[in-house]
A and B are shown apart, each in its own frame.
Chain A
Amino acid sequence: MKLANLRGFNALGLIAIGIVGGVLVTAGVLVGANSMQSNEKESSYSPPSVSAQNSERIDISVDSVADLAQLQTDLKRTAALHRLVTAADESDLLSMLEHSKNIESERLRRAVEIGAVRKLAESSPQLAVAQLANLAGENHEELVAAIYGSWAESSLEDAVVQASGLDATMKQAALRSIVSARSDLSIDERLAIAKRLGGERYAIDLSNRETANQAIDDPESAWNSFVNDESSDLSQTEHLIEVAEIWISQEGIRVIDRVSESLSTPVVRDAVVTSVLHNITPNDPASAFRQALSLKSSSRELALTTIAEVWSASSPAEALMAVMAVETDSERELLQQTVLQTWAAVDPNALLDAIEQLPEAIRVLATEAAMFAIARISPDQATRFLAEVTDRDVRDQLAKEIAAYWSESDVASALDWALNDEFATDVLQAEVLMIVLADLATKDPDLAFRTARQQPVVLRGQYYRGLEVTVIQHLVETDIDKASSMLSEIRSEGLTIPHAYSEVGRAMVRNGDIDQALKLGERLSGRRQSNYNGSLMYQWALVNPESLLESIEGLPTDELKLQAVRGLNRFNPQTKALSDEQLEYANSFL
């Protein structure tokens, strides 16, 4: 018997040993296999302390909201908060709100408050609303949004009715949340709610965003939704751009024709085409250009020039080679110009260095583009080209471009150059000085006037006058009194006096100072005064014909009345300010 018992125990023992061994081996094999199967990618970035391994479960258990701050990341805090809130009953939630006041982190406190009131609003929206009074007011909009969004899920009508009693700002917050939460409603239903709460625009914006979001799956449908709805294209421009970009990325540049033909507002059409191409072209400019050559709509030219411009900014030589192969002469010339202008704007010196490698037919154009670009960026450096340029027209234009840009950046140096450098002709120098003095007039009017007065009168025709007229002409826009005071010191040569007085007088008319303008004219006599008054009346007829009509009877002289009538007749086809009857009345003064 003993032996049988001993054998029995031995058997059990062997089985037990076998069981333990089996468990250990099996567990070891399985866990080992599981780890090997983990296909966590080798991260290109190794954050210092967060585990990315799936096998290590992330623990976010906290006992209370006070412990949330111990969690390192926002995601963990959010997840932990959700867990707490989900498990909380009404009393817990109220307690949570009370404890939230002690949370140091404002961000965390707001998150707790929002989570708690949202949950509370599921069962007791009125109670949730009542809590607002106990909470600090800085994020009331967010709390209102949380409450009403949740409320709308359970009882839409109650939520809308209650929201309509809120002040404007809170009402808008509630509205946004309600229409956002109830995405199951049709757009018309949401618009109706929005109308009740005075926020139709938000509902429309939301609908637009939703349509735009669908573009990733079906851009053509999203596009058609936008262009066929009742809203103006102008109110949806940014969404049209986003949808078009997705559409064209998926189906190619040929879509531009569809886009162009479905937009009737030129401003929107051009904005969509240029914006999309600016973003898509860098991916493969050569392909974009090739595809664009097949376009047939009215946006073809804009598309080609935009692509050429974007391409030139990064690879101008390649872009130039591509446009040189364009068959149509006019198109090729336009695109060449675009490429060269862009190349010049980006790196004019590199363009100059590359001139000899360019086809002969465009070397002159390229050189000019580079020179003018340098004139804009470094006008002082560009002066060296003036001696090299043989084409007189180009040389003169270049000199004026230098003058304009140099004056903006450094008017003193520009003036020094204009006065002291050697110019091909004195006419050119005078024209350059005019540009510089025009800029100097508002920066240092006294210096400008003194300098102008010292220059000989060189120009003829309508500019047969002292350069002080140029100074006065620009000064009247900012300081009419100062300009007026200069009149006593102008020269009498050529048209200086009549032009200078006319500039001041007309500026006075534009400012509404008619009497002052007429009084100024009393300093002139004879024909000069008559011409001066005529210029005043014409200016008045152009800028404010209605008031001139009213004042015509009170003008002091018949000549003035006559000039006024002539002015009104002259400009009314343009301004359409006066009716036939009114013109008839004016003409009665003839």
Chain B
Amino acid sequence: MSNPSTSRFRTFGLLAFGVGLGSAVALVSLIWVMPLKIFQGDPRIEWDATSLSKSSNLERDVFSQSNIFYELLLNSDQEVTLELLEQSKSIASEELRNVAQTSIVQRLTAIDPIAALAAIAELPGNRHDALAATIFGEWSLIDIDGAVAHAATLDGEQKLASLSGIFASREDLSKDERDEISGRIGLPTVPEVESDSLVSGFQSMQPELRWETLVGDDLPNASQTAVLIRIAHQWVDESGFDVVNRIGDTLTNPIVREAVVASVLHQATIDDPSLALQQSEKITGEIRQLALKTIAEAMVSIDPFKAIESLAIVESGSTRRHLLRHVVLTWARSDPDEFLNNLELIPSNMQSLGKQQATMVLARVDPQRIAPMLAEVSDEDFKLDLALEVATSWSEIDLELALEWANSDQIEDEGLRWWVLNTLLSKLALDDPNRALQIALNQPVGENSMGLEATVIAQVSTFNPDLAHEMLAQARDGWAKAAAYTSVGQALVRNNETDRMLELATHLPDEQLASYYFSVFNLWASTQPEGLFAKMENLPTTEAKYHAAMELVRYNVGKNVLSKDQMQIVKTFLPDDYNPETGRRGSERSGRVFRVLTGEEAEQARIEYRRVRSQTTWE
């Protein structure tokens, strides 16, 4: 006879054994048969995107790898899909990378198309539009109304991309349905959307359609320069030079216009220089000179010799001449030695221009070599320009040697020597102002009282007004003294030392005072008008008050820094013969430009003009 408690215990034990065995069986079965997440860990371990690219250990077979990829992809959630997209950036092969990314964004679209659109923004810009088209293509297969509604919220090019994607995917749509969708999405710059052209897909879309959409949308063209350049290239490749004028006319931002036109023409010339030359005639309007310059530069970059020869095929004399000019200048600048060695190949009317350009370039890089050639230059204007270029460049390389040259017999013309020393002493004054002053004082003043000490003192005043002030005592009478005092006076104004500036005026002769006051009060009025107003009453002389008042009136127009009441007070200090039309006294013509100059002043103005002109850059 069995014991009941023993029997229960036995029953329970057998059941427990069965449950345990059953659990173990279930556990093992589920691990092997179904990849459960709780056991799976990271599914990415099973597949690596980079394995799609070529590996020496793997068979180069896209398809054998792709099945695994698609299997994973189709069953991935958003997180994994985004990770796959991130990994896909590392795929070396462009083709495989594009295929992978296309599929990944399609999967992402099925999960969350908005997230898909956000995700592609992290990819290179040249993929955005094509992938946007892919997203909308896939979206339209799932929910066309949702896709269309969202496409309507986008801007220009994205809108076009979305439309293209939808039409390419939904071949089942009739023409009327496509037109209806186009209207709902809205492409306002294209009166009648050529929906048929969009069916063949984004990559096949007519560049003209993309162009019109892009330039007509609400985004500034400057923010779309890269894609405009890409479309323009495609457009010109397909339609030729005829569209270059269209491109130029539709871009209003000059920086964008120049970049797009130059990029397109540069490439077109590299591809086929002869065709570019022949077609250059078609380019008109504002972009014409840029176009000819770009074509010429591209031709020189390929082969300058061929560039010169091939110009003969250009029919129009004017166009041929412009192109030749650009070819000559480009060649001379890019390889001046080669250019000079082949000068005989250049038509005689352009030789001088090219030679000058090449020489200037060489003067910048090797001034010591060019310096002795100055004596051979017959064109006086060019000689001055070249001398200044040599001086400027040489002073950067070896100032001592340059100074030696400036004082040597190589420079025969004293006027030229003055200009060269003017440049060199400006530089020397920064490092050794006292020595610069001594050298300047050792030079003759010359016919027009232009002592070089004025240059030195002007330079010193920019960084050490006190030293410059001390140097004034050595300035020789005449223009040098006047110019030196003015430089120091202006420096004192900038340093708020206006009392010292006013004191300086007492050392100048009357005939130089007006010019001094004009310069210092002009600066004072423009930089510290309130400060000048506050001191009006206490200016030491009537002449000073006159000039202060005139400059405050001139400066305040349009700026209203001083109040009306203040200006009323200022006007009480104006001279009786003040002419409001000219802003000057009496019969003086307005502004310093039109004042009647004495002969000496006229000569000095001409010299100053040439000095400033020499600092302008060549085209």
A residues engaging B (CB < 8 A)? 11, 14-27, 30-31, 33-34, 37-41, 43-45, 47-50, 52, 54, 57-58, 60, 72-76, 78-79, 82-83, 85-86, 105-107, 118-119, 122, 149, 153-154, 177, 180-184, 201, 206, 209-210, 212-213, 215-217, 232, 234-235, 237-239, 241-242, 245, 267-268, 270-271, 274-275, 278-279, 306, 310, 313, 329, 360-361, 363-365, 391, 543-544, 546-547, 575-582
Contact = CB atoms under 8 A, between A and B. Distances in A.
9 contacts: A31-B30, A52-B110, A72-B141, A75-B138, A122-B63, A182-B54, A201-B271, A270-B258, A546-B317
Contacts of A180: 93-95
B124 A242 contact: yes
Contact of B36 (A34, A76, A241): A34
Interface string B91-130: 0111111000001001100111111000000111110000
Contacts of B505: none
Contacts of A275: 222-226, 256
Contact of B27 (A26, A49, A75, A581): A26
A517 B325 CA distance: 30
B142 A54 contact: no
A78 B103 contact: yes
Contacts of B64: 86
Given A15-B14, A19-B19, A41-B79, A82 B63 contact: yes
Contacts of B146: 45, 47
Given A74-B137, A365-B558, 15 more contacts: A21-B22, A23-B23, A47-B142, A74-B138, A82-B66, A122-B63, A234-B263, A235-B267, A237-B225, A270-B258, A270-B259, A275-B224, A313-B220, A329-B527, A546-B317
A361 B89 contact: no
Secondary structure of the A side of the interface? helix
B79 A271 contact: no
B270 interface: yes
A38 B37 contact: yes
A75 B134 CA distance: 10
Interface in B200-237: 220, 222-227, 229-230
A63 B262 CA distance: 55
Interface in B9-37: 11, 14-27, 30, 36-37
A305 to B, nearest CB: 11
B36 A73 contact: no
B396 interface: no
Contact of B25 (A23, A43, A78, A546): A23
B36 A14 contact: no
Contact of B106 (A75, A153, A576): A75
A384 B241 CA distance: 46
A234 B230 contact: no
Interface of B: 11, 14-27, 30, 36-38, 53-54, 60-64, 66-67, 70-71, 73-79, 89, 92-97, 103, 106-107, 110-115, 122-126, 137-138, 141-143, 146, 168-169, 171, 220, 222-227, 229-230, 255-256, 258-259, 262-263, 266-267, 270-271, 294, 298, 301, 317-318, 321, 325, 347-350, 353, 526-527, 558-561
Most chain-B CB neighbours within 10 Å: which of A75, A242, A579?
A75
Contacts of B66: 82, 86
B350 A576 contact: yes
B124 A216 contact: yes
Contacts of A27: 26, 30
Contacts of B74: 57-58, 60, 75-76, 79
B267 to A, nearest CB: 6
A149 B95 CA distance: 9
A235 B103 contact: no
Contact of B16 (A18, A26, A245): A18
Contacts of B107: 75
B95 A14 contact: no
B258 A39 contact: no
Given A210-B94, A271-B258, A365-B558, A39 B77 contact: yes
Contacts of A306: 222
Contacts of A575: 321
A537 to B, nearest CB: 17
Contact of A206 (B94, B125, B229): B94
A364 B559 contact: yes
A54 B259 contact: no
A117 B347 CA distance: 59
A198 B32 CA distance: 55
B440 to A, nearest CB: 30
Contacts of A212: 124, 126
B558 A54 contact: no
Contacts of B220: 278, 310, 313
Contacts of B259: 237, 267-268, 270-271
Most chain-B CB neighbours within 10 Å: which of A60, A181, A364?
A181
B21 A15 contact: yes
Contacts of B114: 44-45
B266 A235 contact: yes
B17 A75 contact: no
A15 B298 CA distance: 90
A425 B616 CA distance: 41
A242 B75 contact: no
A183 B53 contact: yes
A179 to B, nearest CB: 9
B37 A34 contact: yes
A43 B106 contact: no
Ranked 4 nearest A-B pairs via Cβ? A18-B18, A22-B22, A271-B259, A579-B348
A283 to B, nearest CB: 12
Contact of B93 (A14, A54, A183): A183
A350 B244 CA distance: 38
A201 B574 CA distance: 72
B171 A20 contact: no
A34 B126 CA distance: 41
B223 A579 contact: no
A229 to B, nearest CB: 14
Contact of A22 (B14, B20, B62): B20
Contacts of A234: 262-263, 266-267, 294, 298
A22 B26 contact: yes
Contacts of B22: 18-26
Nearest to B141: A73
Nearest to A49: B142
A36 to B, nearest CB: 9
Contacts of B223: 275, 278-279
Contacts of A580: 348
